[in-house]
Chains A and B, each alone.
Chain A
Amino acid sequence: MAKRRVAIVGTGQTHHKSHRPDVSGRELIYEAVTRALEDADLSIKNIDAIIIGNMDHFEGINYVDCWSIDGSGGYHKPVIKLTTGGTTGSTLAIGGYHFVASGMFDKVLIIGWEKNSESDTTGAITTAFDPVWDRLVFAGAISGLAVEAQSYMAKYGATDRDGARVSVRDRKHACNNPYAQLRKEVTLEEVLASPMLADPIHLLDVCPRTDGACAVIMASEDYAEKITSTPDWIWATANRHKYTYLGDVNWGELDSMAEASRDLFKKCGITEPRKQIDVIEMYQPYSFAGIIWIEDMGIVPRGKGAEYIWSGATDMGGELPINPSGGVIACNPIGATGLIRCAEAALQVMGKAEARQVPDVNFAVSTGFGGCMWTDMLLHGKKKPNL
């Protein structure tokens, strides 16, 4: 365990939209940062270091950590860029935790952002794959997700109705979140009738493209309790970025999630995640993942994900609400997305989630997904972790 306790003391988000022509990327970042500072009642002078991330080819800006200074507030401060693709936002959160836990900095500002409207998202994502092997025969993100869904369906007999049920849940939850981009309820039939993008994924099964930024402030124990009476303590972090090539993935099961969650729960003494965890903010870019990945996380046994979803257990008011914010299906500014999960989990623990609040949250999990089926995870708690 860490040498110092670390807590989230403030968060800020932009109102996420498909296009934000009124601001440049830097100005979008500024909005999220000023909101986080306001939330923590701090000024930029109180910040010791800045961690920022996005995905370069979505905006076509090299050295974003340098370019964004006017917006991030990084003038004459330590600024570092972390980036791991879709997991970028959660990677940033994990980075903030380590920089504070290490004693190198007391108060760290973490910024994830993306203006997906500024480029061709699928064109840019395709360049993630190996130029000699995978790139020539594979495109975008949806095809990989469709492969996962098909593999799972073949193994466990799930149907596209099961997937649609997850989409119905998240889109309903999003109506409670003023920051979400898509706030409109849909029915099962509407999901199933929406255009087929890559079998079995319909348009309403997947995330949109979004312009948005998120900022989170983490502080060491000494400062955290002075800044807020309800700090969100980070108990532990874990991740696995297992794969380099598409053909190496164990399709139909998310091994990176299985390994990362085992690691995470072991670090914190979580033995029965379904009972001990009160809410999950999952980076779930399409509906079927909502079934598959809770199995990998050990919430339910293999093949039982759909049944659990249909029971209503993951809806608001259920046993273990998932994505009270509406999740990624309602909003996906990619470099910010993982950090938004972290911020939303923090809001739940701090009791500041307003209309989307789950009652009495002691433990929350936030996750990130990306790369070649990679996973990042953080465990958030109301009580202080043991050292």
Chain B
Amino acid sequence: MKRLIRTGISLEDKEIVMEDIFNGIEPQVYKSQISVPYQWWAGETASKFFITLRDEKKILGTECPQCGKVFCPPKKTCPFCYVDTKNWKEVGPKGKVITYTVVYRKLAALKKNVPVAYGLIQLAGSDNAMLHYIEGIEPEKISIGMEVEAVFSDEKNASIHAISHFRPVK
């Protein structure tokens, strides 16, 4: 019953210490990276949202025919009822901060200079919240429940960056 994996290294009652036989060997480290180019198909639902955002500076959500929830960012399907959403609804551009954080250490995924404030923003007329930046306010003054509005980007950009950020409603 006590035989170990097929090399037959005996464990007995002491722990295996591989280092014993590798004393004095300097561990080598190989550096590399996985760099695979990606192109994500946004699909028809997100495409319509981004194109409308870019061309008309309007924020659209989709409505679930069953529970009536309006989603922004829009979804093709309602995760709660598991049916196709049906109607497009214009939402925002005002909304409120559901929660937020201010990032002070520039971590590797972040391309902006810190501090960067993120918020989950529930847009007026929407039942869920959208992740985005909060700017135009000192970070310490951001609070949950605060009213904000979308600031559209000047760049012609059919992506989430067609909204530059959210700022406090004056």
Residues on A lying within 8 angstroms of B by beta carbon are: 19-27, 30, 43-44, 57, 59-60, 69-71, 73, 75, 115, 117-120, 123-124, 127, 131-132, 135
Contacts and interface: CB of A to CB of B under 8 A. Distances in A.
Given A23-B44, A24-B43, A27-B43, A119 B77 contact: no
Contacts of A30: 76-77
Given A115-B41, A119-B37, A123-B37, 7 more contacts: A21-B43, A22-B44, A24-B42, A26-B76, A69-B79, A73-B79, A118-B41
A70 B71 CA distance: 12
Contacts of B43: 21-24, 27
8 contacts: A21-B41, A70-B75, A119-B37, A119-B38, A123-B35, A123-B36, A127-B34, A127-B36
B22 interface: no
Contacts of A135: 32
Contact of A120 (B32, B36, B79): B36
A206 to B, nearest CB: 20
Contacts of A69: 79
Nearest to A22: B44
A117 B38 contact: no
A119 B41 contact: no
Interface string B23-39: 00000001010111111
Contact of B41 (A20, A120, A123, A127): A20
B40 interface: yes
Contacts of A127: 34, 36
Nearest to A60: B38
Given A69-B79, A71-B77, A75-B80, A27 B34 contact: no
Given A27-B77, A71-B77, A119 B30 contact: no
Contacts, number: 70
B82 A73 contact: yes
A131 B30 contact: yes
Contacts of A22: 41, 43-44
Contacts of A75: 79-80, 82
A120 B37 contact: yes
A57 B45 CA distance: 24
A27 B82 contact: no
B77 A70 contact: yes
B36 A24 contact: no
Interface of B: 30, 32, 34-46, 75-77, 79-80, 82
Contacts of B37: 119-120, 123
Contacts of B41: 19-24, 115, 117-118
Contact of A24 (B40, B80, B82): B40
Contacts of A44: 82
A386 B77 CA distance: 42
A24 to B, nearest CB: 4
B36 A119 contact: yes
Given A30-B77, A73-B82, A132-B30, A118 B40 contact: yes
Contact of B46 (A24, A59, A71): A24
Contacts of B38: 59-60, 118-119
A124 B38 CA distance: 10
A384 B41 CA distance: 43
A217 to B, nearest CB: 14
Question: 10 tightest A-B contacts by CB?
Answer: A24-B43, A44-B82, A70-B79, A21-B41, A23-B43, A60-B38, A75-B79, A123-B36, A73-B82, A27-B76
Contacts of A26: 76-77
A120 B30 CA distance: 23
Nearest to B80: A75
Contacts of B30: 131-132
A26 B73 CA distance: 14
A130 B22 CA distance: 22
A59 B46 CA distance: 17
A27 B38 CA distance: 18
A23, A24, A123: which has the most chain B beta carbons within 10 Å? A24
A10 to B, nearest CB: 15
B80 A57 contact: no
B10 to A, nearest CB: 24
A27 B45 CA distance: 10
A25 B41 CA distance: 8
Contacts of B77: 26-27, 30, 70-71
Contacts of B46: 24
Contact of A131 (B32, B35, B36): B32
Contacts of A25: 40
A19 B36 CA distance: 18
Contacts of A21: 41, 43
A22 to B, nearest CB: 5
